Amino acid sequence: STPTCFLHALSQEKRTWPVREGDFLSYAHRAHAFWTGFYTSRPGIKFYERYVGAFYQSLRQLSIYSNSIGFDVLSKLG
């Protein structure tokens, strides 16, 4: 049997399925901190999340550094 055969057999039984309501990301360790990679593995999204996170941290560090040395020196670094 295959998943297709199984689902076809279920559809032939004319079953009614409950409607899922509520949050699909039910696991969170605090408010608005869901375990996004807990059920899925999406390497592309995870890559971009890490890339953007690293870029954001770099920008934060540069902004702190620019406040201590002056913006004109920071612009020469680029």
Given this model, what pLDDT does residue 77 score?
53
| pLDDT single digits (tens) 15-65 | 888 887 766 656 677 777 777 665 566 677 778 888 888 888 888 788 777
Query: Is the distance from CB of 66 to CB of 74 less than 8 angstroms?
Result: yes
Secondary structure (3-state) at 71: helix
**pTM across the whole model:** 0.35
Which of 20 and 13 is assigned the larger pLDDT? Answer: 13
Structure-token pair, residue 29: 């360790």
Domain ranges of the chain: 40-78
